[in-house]
């Protein structure tokens, strides 16, 4: 089978199947072999590995993964792509294609069946609108993960690795940094895709921590606090938290805890570090 990372081969496959791009799935197929090589090396794929690929498209990266991994499970939501994948991956016997929404897949079960419950590696080229739910779903469900290496919109990659006080810092930054060590491994310009997206992309590797860098008594409560404090960025932390519907903390209680932490009552969520959010959560939940 011809290597799909070469633009002419991708175009030939799309024409053969009269494939039309679906706006709702945010489809942009990679047509750059250098970038594909970078992703494989960044994800550190070896013959020991079981890899889950989210959104294989026409199988461009799947071919590379199949050459390098022990086994690949490719999860594709668009059923129009399934016959194409059967064709482009026909020469590989170590690939399983699942036509399903990744948010509905039991990854724990896949890891048990295909990898003896050992941590799997996830690789994906993700559309912008679904990046956060997929990453949070993978982390929050505590499935056995070694790393997630993903192509995302450049600004989303930036958001995952910035610290407090920057405009990109938010709930996603804190969540990613609680669960994993983020590292941007490549910037990818629009001309590396078909069709060309309007924005630049980046490949970011999230290496899962064995233990989170901060200890917190109630993880769910901490993330509820984080979400509430960034829901209304312009509000002070006191107002953001006391107005939140999903947590019940009073204004005076928040003011007192902030004072105990040596923080101003006019401080905003974007000024707090992950450690401070953990401390805040423990104090507000009465577990400190």
Q: What is the domain extent for residue 261?
A: 219-284
The CATH number linked to 264 is 1.10.8.100
Claim to verify: residue 79 and residue 170 sit in the same structural domain: yes
Instruction: Say what the pTM is.
Output: 0.89
Q: Are 206 and 148 in contact (CB under 8 A)?
A: yes
* Shared-domain flag, residues 197 and 73: yes
**Token pair of 134 as six digits:** 């997929």
Q: Kindly state whether residues 35 and 178 are assigned to the same domain.
A: yes
When divided into structural domains, the chain yields a total of 2
Given 208, 230, 247, the domain boundary residue is 208
Is the predicted pLDDT of residue 265 greater than 70, yes or no? yes
Q: In the beta sheet, which residues pair with residue 99?
A: 76
Residue 213 lies in a domain: no
Are both 64 and 94 inside the same structural domain?
yes
- 176-185: average pLDDT: 96
Q: Tell me if 14 sits within 8 A of 39, measured CB to CB.
A: no
What CATH number should be reported for the domain holding residue 88? 3.40.50.150
With b for 16 or more beta-carbon neighbours within 10 A and e for fewer, the 116-138 pattern comes to eeeebbbbbbbbeebbbebbbbb
Q: What is the pLDDT of residues 183-198, one digit of tens each?
A: 999 999 999 998 888 8
Q: Which of 187, 208, 229 is the last residue of a domain?
A: 208
Question: To which H or E segment does residue 147 belong?
Answer: strand 145-153
Name the average pLDDT for the chain.
Answer: 91
Whether residue 26 is found in the same domain as residue 92: yes
**Residue 2 resides in a domain:** no
pLDDT band of 249, cuts 50, 70, 90: confident
Q: Which two tokens stand for residue 152?
A: 């995302």
Q: Are residues 279 and 151 in the same domain?
A: no
């Amino acid at each position: 089978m011809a290597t799909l990372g070469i633009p002419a081969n991708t175009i030939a496959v799309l024409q053969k199947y009269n494939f039309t791009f679906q706006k709702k799935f945010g489809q942009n197929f990679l047509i750059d072999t250098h970038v594909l090589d970078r992703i494989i090396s960044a994800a550190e794929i070896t013959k020991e590995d079981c890899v889950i690929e989210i959104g294989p498209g026409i199988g461009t990266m799947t071919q590379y993964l199949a050459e390098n991994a022990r086994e690949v499970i490719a999860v594709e939501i668009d059923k129009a792509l399934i016959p194409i994948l059967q064709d482009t991956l026909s020469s590989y016997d170590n690939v399983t294609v699942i036509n399903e929404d990744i948010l509905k897949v039991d990854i724990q079960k896949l890891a048990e069946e295909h990898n003896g419950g050992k941590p799997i590696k996830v690789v994906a080229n993700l559309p912008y609108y679904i990046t956060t739910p997929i990453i949070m779903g993978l982390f929050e469900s505590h499935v056995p993960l070694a790393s997630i290496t993903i192509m995302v919109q450049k600004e989303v990659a930036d958001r995952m690795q910035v610290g407090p006080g920057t405009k990109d810092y938010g709930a996603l930054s804190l969540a990613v940094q609680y669960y994993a060590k983020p590292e941007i491994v490549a910037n990818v310009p629009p001309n590396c895709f078909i069709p060309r997206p309007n924005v630049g992309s980046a490949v970011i590797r999230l290496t899962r921590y064995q233990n989170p860098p901060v200890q917190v008594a109630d993880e769910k409560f901490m993330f509820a606090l984080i979400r509430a404090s960034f829901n209304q960025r312009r509000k002070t932390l006191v107002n953001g938290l006391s107005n939140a519907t999903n947590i019940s903390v009073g204004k005076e209680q928040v003011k007192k805890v902030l004072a105990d932490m040596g923080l101003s009552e006019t401080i905003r969520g974007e000024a707090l570090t992950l450690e401070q959010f953990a401390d805040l959560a423990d104090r507000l939940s009465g577990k400190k």
